[in-house]
Amino acid sequence: MITISVDMDACENYGQCCFEAEVLFRLDDDGKLVFTAQAPDDRLADIEAAADACPMQAISLMES
């Protein structure tokens, strides 16, 4: 499993992660980020791409 965490103080809800890892990251009706904290290993490339793309560099991930 991959554990995703987002520094919500840094997050500015730009939504760039939502393109890279759809479903896992999304903006809600108010435009605020919601994300899934645990993801299967086969989403690693998407999650890394989401972390790469974040303008605020607020996304971190841990493989376990």
Partner 1 sequence: MKDQVVIVGAGLGGLRAAESLRGAGYDGHIVVIGDEPHLPYNRPPLSKEALAGGVNVEDLHFRRRPTIDDVEWRLGAKVVSSDLEAGIVRLEDGSEIPFTGLVIASGIRPRQLPIPGPTTGRVLLRNADDAAYLRDRLGPDTHLVILGAGFIGCEVAATARKLGAEVDVVALDPEPLVRPLGEEFGAAMRRHHEANGVRFHLGRTVQEVLGDDHVTGVRLDDGTELPATVVLEAIGSVPNVEWLDGNDLDLSNGILVDDSMRVVDSPVPAVAVGDIARHPNALFPGEPMRVEHWNMPTEIGRHAGKTLAALLAGAEPDPTPFAAVPSFWSDQYDLNIQSFGMPGLGDPVLVDGDIDGDCIVEYRKHSGEKDELVGVVGINRSKDLLPYRKTLQSRQQ
Closest residue by Cα to residue 47 from 19, 9, 13, 28: 19
11 binds partner 1 (CB under 8 A): no
In the complex, the smallest distance separating the C-beta of residue 38 from partner 1, rounded to whole angstroms, is: 19
18 binds partner 1 (CB under 8 A): yes
Q: Which is nearer to partner 1, 8 or 55 (CB)?
A: 55
Q: What is the spatial distance between Cα 52 and Cα 60, in angstroms, rounded to a whole number?
A: 10
Neighbours of 37 (CB within 10 A): 11
Q: Which is nearer to partner 1, 39 or 51 (CB)?
A: 51
